[in-house]
Structure 1
Amino acid sequence: MFKQRLLTALLLAPLALLAVFYLPLAGFALFVSVAFTLGAWEWSGLCGLASRTLRAIYTGLTAAMLFLLYLLQPVALQYLFADTLTLTLIIAGVVWWLLAVVLVLSYPGSQLLWAGRDWLKALLGWLTLLPAWSAVVFVRGLDYQQDAFTGAWLLFGLLGLVWAADIGGYAIGKPFGKTKLLPKVSPGKTLEGMLGGMLFVLLLVSAVGFWKNWPANIAYWYLAAIVLAALSVFGDLTESMFKRAAGKKDSGAFLPGHGGILDRIDSLTATAPLYALLLALFGGFH
């Protein structure tokens, strides 16, 4: 299983980076849309849509909404607060993930609010996918007219943070994890693993800070990184909560050794809206 997981990761990471750095904005938006549409198919299986017809309808509606967003959202939006739709979506995403943290911390009691309500879980799927899509496309298009790679590097920063948290969580949690984090949600998650992920994230920020000659706002970087790293963990835990309620181990089987698409992008969907909002409010790596 580990070997299969490693091989899949070694294939996916370069593919994602090639898309981030070298696809034109329209091609990149299409690339993200395909991944998120596959994620919608998997989410439909978590929200109780039993028949393939209903799942196909949900997935088709998601694809249609992503296409509509592509038509309505400026592809190279320089100022987040200049576009009401993008701003509204990203803020909605941030609010949803703050609520998701509460739902995870209060599980299984929180099931009373959403268990058995397929329409509500379907809506939560859209709140997971649509704001994240909007945020990722917004970040990639930043300063595109001045430098086609500015947004790519900013997005690479988010991916690096998410990957560092994931790798650190596995590297520290696997051999040293003893204290269960939230066993009713995810028995495999440990406090040591979460702290290990945060350590790796802080090391990554330190490396970038050293490379950038320790900019004046480095303290803000560290604070933002800690918050985003914690949120990435809750992205994973939120999906685990819905999988547990649905009686599933993985969201799907698209990725050998990794489960489904959602199992790989859950942390990204959780962190992307807040990351985009922080960039809009405070700027990037200066």
Structure 2
Amino acid sequence: MLKQRVITAVVLLAVLLPALFAPMAWPFAVLTLVMIGAAGWEWARLNGVAGGGAVSLGLALAGACALALWTGWAASAPHLAWWLATLVWVLGGMWALRVGPTGWPVLSKVLRCALGLVALWTAWLALANAKSTGVNAILSIFCLVWAADIAAYFGGRTFGKRKLAPAISPGKSWEGVWSGMAGALALAVAWLAIDRSFAVDSMSLYSMLRDRLGTIGLVAGTVFLAAMSVVGDLVESLAKRSAGAKDSSQLLPGHGGVLDRIDALLPVFPLALALTSL
């Protein structure tokens, strides 16, 4: 299993890194478009859409992303898209976590699929826009999620006592959440120093938050985004538990599905762009 995970990770990096660092924005946009389409197929299957129906929804999502790319939204999307995503994630996420796996199927299959596809579409749009802004900008958002996840893991293992959402993800604790927020703030401080000391191609998320919202806004925004990364993870776990699935699919050998790898990123990217649009 470990060998399989490593091989898959190496292949993914070999494909993603050239697209991420390419001087043009479209290779990364096209590559992530394919991945988001696959995630749409996974989401449909987790919510009771089988066979050709799930494939059709995945293709429709990829088509909606392609349309945004063709119209130029992948480089400069309306800010309304970020606030739509904020509304869906904050209100929808709160409701989903409150009702838990047993309450999730109360929503109609159509509404569950629609909410997921909207969240995936705005996440892809935000990814593409962040890449168009610059490598420093997009990497700073990626690394916020990764830093929060790593800090939450070790903080939860070391200090974790109070369960966060035992019915959804028994391994998560409140102490892990606080540790994740602290890790994200530590990263923000370090990244601001990098922005000041080195020539970068664009402002990072942290520089944009500080310049537009001040130090308090930087701290509040970073903590909020770290918290929303946990919400993204929990919402996907909720859908899997409701469907009785361990992974979203087996598209990525040793890693599960695409959703399993990007769940925490989905709310953070559009919400980060919403905050920096203020």
TM-score (norm 1): 0.83
Gaps in structure 1 of 5+ consecutive residues: 81-85, 143-150, 282-286
Deviations 1:39-74 (A, max 9, x none): 011111111012x11111111211221111212234
Looking at structure 2, the residues matched to 223 and 6 of structure 1 have their Cα atoms a distance apart, in angstroms, of: 36
Identify if the C-alpha distance between structure 1 residues 46 and 102 changes in structure 2 by more than 3 Å, giving closer, same or farther: same
Quote the residue 1:87 is aligned against.
79
Does residue 111 in structure 1 map to residue 103 in structure 2?
A: yes
Identify if the C-alpha distance between structure 1 residues 3 and 207 changes in structure 2 by more than 3 Å, giving closer, same or farther: farther
Deviations 1:184-217 (A, max 9, x none): 1211211222222222111111111333459774
Over the aligned positions, Cα root-mean-square deviation in angstroms equals 2.5
Quote the residue 2:200 is aligned against.
none
Quote the residue 2:249 is aligned against.
252
Does residue 28 in structure 1 map to residue 22 in structure 2?
A: no
Quote the residue 1:173 is aligned against.
156
Contact 2:79 2:277 in 1 (8 A): no
Quote the residue 1:148 is aligned against.
none
Local SS of the residue matching 1:250: coil
Calculate percent identity across the aligned residue pairs: 35
Contact 1:129 1:269 in 2 (8 A): yes
Local SS of the residue matching 1:188: strand
Local SS of the residue matching 2:170: strand
Quote the residue 1:223 is aligned against.
220
Quote the residue 2:143 is aligned against.
160
Identify if the C-alpha distance between structure 1 residues 207 and 178 changes in structure 2 by more than 3 Å, giving closer, same or farther: same
Shift of 1:227: 0.5
Contact 1:100 1:238 in 2 (8 A): no
Quote the residue 2:128 is aligned against.
137
Report which stretch shifted further, 234-243 or 54-63.
54-63
TM-score (norm 2): 0.85
Quote the residue 1:98 is aligned against.
90
Gaps in structure 2 of 5+ consecutive residues: 197-206
Deviations 1:151-204 (A, max 9, x none): 221110100001111111222223443321111121121122222222211111
Shift of 1:279: 2.0
Contact 1:90 1:134 in 2 (8 A): no
Shift of 1:107: 2.1
Shift of 1:6: 5.9
Looking at structure 2, the residues matched to 267 and 14 of structure 1 have their Cα atoms a distance apart, in angstroms, of: 22
